[in-house]
Amino acid sequence: MVRPTCVSVFLSGLAMCLVATLAGVPVQAQGKPKDLKWTHAFDLACRKLGEDKFTEKTQKFGVEAFRDDNNDLGMYISQTGCIAVTNAGFANLNPPIKSAGPKWLTGLDLPARKAGEKTFTKETKVHAMEVFTDPNTSNWLYITEKGNIATTAAKKAAASGAGAPKWVHSVDLSVRKGGVREWKDAAKFGVEVYRDGNTGNLIFISNTGSIAITPETVTVKETKGDAKAPDWLHGLDLSCRRHDEKAFTKETRKFGVEVFNDTTTGHLIFICETGTITVAPAGKALKAPTVDVKEPRWTHGLNAKARAYGEKDFSDRTKVYGAEVFQDDNVGVTLYVCETGSISAAPK
């Protein structure tokens, strides 16, 4: 459902009034959706901050890869219930595949400030992550020490892996809870943007440790002082059933998501009330705020199994996560939301 009514758009300092009808639960689509096709799986190691080398004690996360035959998108899901969607590399697979192992490139340590934190200090939280390629699909796959993942197509060969990431930009974003119209109690999150010279990607990271990656399509110059705040476009309510919840009801969890146009990077930033983020390329003719907001269009729901590291086979004890798929026709983006509050976007 769309949530904006009369709001004060604090980031731009402009008072706006939008009227939108509130929908109930998503309308069930006609026909039964196709099940996810499991394609392959990895165990990915990620060192904790300060852990110099990989050892037998380095933590590892199970990551499953699926193809969604409803739209031919690929979806990675970690054992923590973090999802990452890609429109590259999965359509022509013949699952299940004989998987080639992931290729490690480098490790990164990225500080991420809380909203309102003006400068980086020794108190700023630093998040450790590793960078891999999936040779089966030619996608980059980043994973953090919390098991958060992000993916994008590998459009060029990697550099040596020795380059340090360069900070280029930061924003503070506010997001309302699902079903809430007013901004007064909106949560605020800080988001940093780094250039990964090893891969040619931009890395977006929130102070919660959620990450999103995308190829740097335009050169982003380091911002100084008070950079232009992203334009708020519209807000969404995305209902997501638990894996054991067969139908949408009034009790189904609704996640509040705000959509911003970060003109500095040329990308949309979607932020969930949980502090998780995802990004997608922005169109050239977007007006802020969105005029005549269309409600998110639910297409189908999914259940995805995700084995923990060391769990060899799928079983009744394997963790299962529910997810829903929506189209945000306001910006031409497919949005996945998991019952954990993890979100991921793919261009239409």
Whether residue 23 has pLDDT greater than 90: no
Please give the Cα distance from 344 to 159 (Å, whole number).
26
Alpha-carbon distance of 195 to 125, in angstroms, equals 19
Q: How confident is the model at residue 14 (pLDDT cuts 50, 70, 90)?
A: very low
Residue 10: pLDDT band (50, 70, 90) is very low
Does residue 331 belong to any structural domain of this protein? yes
Q: In which order are the strands placed within the sheet that holds 319-328?
A: 297-306, 319-328, 333-338, 343-347
pLDDT score at 214: 95
- Does 134 fall in a domain? yes
pLDDT given at position 95? 96
Strand order across the 231-240 sheet: 231-240, 253-262, 267-272, 277-281
Q: Nearest-CA neighbor of 16 among 24, 7, 25?
A: 7
Q: For the chain, how many residues are written?
A: 348
The count of structural domains within the chain is 1
How many other C-beta atoms are found inside a 10 Å radius of the C-beta of residue 284? 6
- Per-residue pLDDT, 227: 73
DSSP state for residue 120 in the 8-state scheme: -
Type of residue at 113: R
Domain assignment of residue 1, yes or no? no
Task: Give the pLDDT band of residue 24 (cuts 50, 70, 90).
Answer: low
Q: Which pLDDT score, from 0 to 100, does residue 11 have?
A: 34
Mean pLDDT, residues 109-134 taken together = 97
Mean pLDDT of 249-265: 97
Residue 61, classed as helix, strand or coil, is: strand
Return d(Cα 167, Cα 173) in angstroms, integer. 18
pLDDT of 212 > 60? The answer is: yes
Segment 133-192, tens digit of pLDDT: 999 999 999 999 999 999 999 977 776 666 789 999 999 999 999 999 999 999 999 999
pLDDT computed for residue 21 by the predictor:
32
Confidence of residue 27 (pLDDT cuts 50, 70, 90): low
Average of per-residue pLDDT across 33-60: 97
Please indicate, yes or no, if residue 54 is contained in any of the structural domains: yes
| 49 belongs to a structural domain | yes
pTM: 0.91
**For residue 270, what are the domain limits?**
6-347
Alpha-carbon distance 143 to 211, whole Å? 9
Query: Coil, strand or helix: which one is 87?
Result: coil
pLDDT per position as a tens digit, 300-337: 999 999 999 999 999 999 999 999 999 999 999 999 99
CA angle 181, 184, 112 (to 5 degrees): 105
Looking at every residue in the chain, the average pLDDT score rounds to 90
